[in-house]
Amino acid sequence: MKVKTSITLSQEVLAAIDKLHPNRSEFLEKAARSYLRALRRAERDARDRALYEKYAAELNQQALETLEYSAYYNEEDERAAR
């Protein structure tokens, strides 16, 4: 459902919108939706970053163990191939 509203913008912004799009309302709605998506993405990224930071030491240790395990078996395979 669409709701009529009134906003105040500078003449420069309106002129720029008018050059880019024939329908101001449609342009502003698309811009607002895009900005809202960007805000949600930034919030999600911040939560993800916080989790990575919280578990970084544990994740790094698991990665090192995986690399050591992999290196061990690669060395075994090389010896067996000789």
Asked whether residue 38 carries a pLDDT value surpassing 80, the answer given is yes
| pLDDT at res. 71 | 74
| pLDDT at res. 24 | 97
16, part of any domain: yes
4, part of any domain: no
Sorted by sequence, the CB contacts under 8 Å of residue 77 that are 6+ apart come out as: none
Q: What angle do CA 44, 47, 52 make, to 5 degrees?
A: 125
1, part of any domain: no
User: Domain limits at 52?
Assistant: 11-81
Asked whether residue 76 carries a pLDDT value surpassing 70, the answer given is no
Q: Taking the CA of residue 42 as centre, how many other CA atoms within 13 Å lie in the half-sphere pointing to its CB?
A: 6
Number of domains in the chain: 1
Task: Name the residue with higher pLDDT: 47 or 69.
Answer: 47
5, part of any domain: no
- Whether the Cβ atoms of residue 21 and residue 27 lie closer than 8 Å to each other: yes
31, part of any domain: yes
Amino acid 65 reads E
54, part of any domain: yes
| Mean pLDDT, residues 2-25 | 97
Summarised one tens digit per residue, pLDDT across range 49-59 is 999 999 999 99
